[in-house]
Structure 1
Amino acid sequence: VVMVQHIALGPESQRMSCPHCHADISTRVESESNTKTHLFALLLCLIG
């Protein structure tokens, strides 16, 4: 039985060890802009 502890990850890449093969790995964080992002940018442009 393998018990994997849940790790809270933040918005940045993290180094960790794979619980199955014990390899050293890094997480990858990807983000995409959406409608809310564009509306906020438009608001900032209008405000100056």
Structure 2
Amino acid sequence: MTTKLALQAMVDRGAMTPNEWRSVLNLAPIDGGDNPVRRLDTAPVTGGEQK
């Protein structure tokens, strides 16, 4: 389970494509899975100001 979570974190950060992740888990590739993805619900932390 730890390995699976670590791989998911790599995909979330754009360091690994979804199809690379699926390959490690012996799953079939998916359409569009060779493009890196990145979470959109994150933002840089700066200055401590709240908006």
Output the TM-score relative to the length of structure 2: 0.28
Output the TM-score relative to the length of structure 1: 0.29
| Rg larger in structure | 1
Greater RCO, 1 or 2 (C-alpha within 8 Å, sep 6+): 2
- Going by fraction, where is strand more abundant, 1 or 2? 1
